[in-house]
Amino acid sequence: MLKNLKKYNIILASKSPRRKELLAMLDIPFEIKVKDVIDESYPADMPVVEVPEYLARIKGRAYSADIKGNDMVITADTVVILDDVIYGKPHDEEDAVEMLMRLQGRTHTVASGVCVATKEKIKSFTVCTAVTFAPISREEAAWYVDRYRPLDKAGAYGIQEWIGCAAVAAIDGSFYNVMGLPVHQLYKVLKEEF
């Protein structure tokens, strides 16, 4: 599939093991390259749903000087949004438990921005998924954080882990987007735009 991509050296610019796993599911060859430090600040007045695509494009621009003629760089950013507030990666275990307690019993939005860049073209997009958590106790949240260590995950949870089975009551949209890469939309863009 995606014979149009054979001319490209595809680079996933992400440390996320979940993004690596999800991109591999599209059955296209790629390598991983990661820059150490990229400024991920954004304008304070930016609508929160626009932030992940903005950050994905910033990450894409950080690699633009390194793009050779046949390189294609894929960057992404995922955030959890509740009450117009962004919940990124927790600072520590206590912060993770507090995030989960704010999310429990409510519906939040997971927004992922993706940027695909070549020498000739940049295409970016955002995918949003609504996730409803059932009520959970602080004890359950603390147990999950202690056992699964979700400190590298936006909103302090991984839907593919215990908490997805025990606490996610409903999902409206892409499951894979909640994991960190909306592969269906990415596949469409790669097939139609490149």
Q: Hey, what are 146's tokens? A: 């202690």
Q: What letter represents residue 127's amino acid?
A: V
Using DSSP bridges, classify how beta strands 122-133 and 107-117 pair: parallel, antiparallel or unpaired: antiparallel
Q: How far is CA 115 from CA 59, 67, 108, 123, 137, in A?
A: 8, 14, 23, 6, 37
Alpha-carbon gap, residue 191 to 163, rounded angstroms: 34
Alpha-carbon gap, residue 81 to 163, rounded angstroms: 18
Residue in 71, 77, 84, 152 annotated catalytic: 77
Active site residue 71: no
Q: Tell me which residues are annotated as active site.
A: 77
